[in-house]
Amino acid sequence: MRAVVAALGANLGIALIKFIAFAITGSAAMLAEGVHSVVDSGNQALLLIGARRSRRRATPEHPFGYGRDRYVYGFLVALVLFSAGGLFAVYEGIDKVRHPHHLESLAVALVVLAVAIVLESFSLRTAVVESRHAKGSLGWFAFIRRAKLPELPVVLLEDTAALIGLLLALVGVGLSAATGDAVWDGIATICIGVLLLTVAAVLIVETKSLLLGEAAAPEAVAAIVANLVGPGVERVIHLRTMHLSPDELLVAAKLAMPRTATLAEVAAAIDGAEARVRAAVPAATVIYLEPDIDRAALEPR
């Protein structure tokens, strides 16, 4: 949550100075960037609400709890806010290209963009630091694809898009001032909108997958299988896993046990398997194990 709070504070400050700069300069790119920062602030607010709601206790109606609220709010961020910000920027850019008007007070625009780049860099640095322990040995792209935490990929992509958008606005304002043609400001605004829509598409795909229910990471599945087998458990017949939240994993498995095992031995074997799995994979909070006979071993060869 530290990355989310840092991004929220940075974006609120950036949005204010961008709108002031737009009022002074009339730059469409500055307006698009201001809306972008407001959208980003709404993103962080939704992520914080989702994190808070996900901590509610389980109920008879929702026996597995509310952990997926984090995925729901992450999907809303991607679907509504990012897309709305991108569509607005594209619309504003097209309008500026069709009806360009001269920019005023170039110095104000450049100072505001420079300050915004510094603040966004701080926010991105915080997100990178907070993501490193969760990323492990994965590359950044693989981390965004495989992360079960919706907040960190959102903030990482959001801050990266914001920095690129600021650079695009800087180029657009600079070219408009250098050439005297305000069309460049509109083109930069369109590019910012396309960038936001691209980020939205990536996040929509990833958070939709989490909402549908993703399995544990391959290394976690391997650890679960290895620890299910032990005293009284001959092998894992089949296994299913699903994330109930970033920190909660449902494990369901059918285990092959000796035909001669007594009920007490079966119960002890299942208890032991559960304990081993929870020790190896702490996220495995909900475990259902079904004992069975290894029929494959009984078939004649």
Please give the domain boundaries of the chain with CATH numbers for all domains: 2-212 (1.20.1510.10), 218-298 (3.30.70.1350)
Tens digit of pLDDT at every position of the chain (301 positions): 666 777 777 777 777 877 887 777 777 667 776 777 777 777 778 888 888 888 888 888 888 888 888 888 888 888 776 777 778 778 878 888 888 777 667 777 788 888 888 877 887 887 788 778 777 777 888 888 788 887 778 888 888 888 888 888 888 888 888 888 878 888 888 898 898 888 888 888 888 888 888 899 888 999 999 999 999 999 999 999 999 988 899 999 999 998 888 999 999 999 999 999 999 999 999 999 999 987 665 555 4
How would DSSP label each residue in 29-56? HHHHHHHHHHHHHHHHHHHHHHHHHTTS
Q: Which residues contact 22 (CB under 8 A, 6 or more apart)?
A: 30, 31, 34
DSSP 3-state of 124: helix
Cα–Cα distance for residue pair 56/72, rounded to 1 Å? 15
Query: Is the distance from CB of 74 to CB of 154 less than 8 angstroms?
Result: yes
pTM above 0.85, yes or no: no
Q: How far apart are the first and last CA of the chain?
A: 57
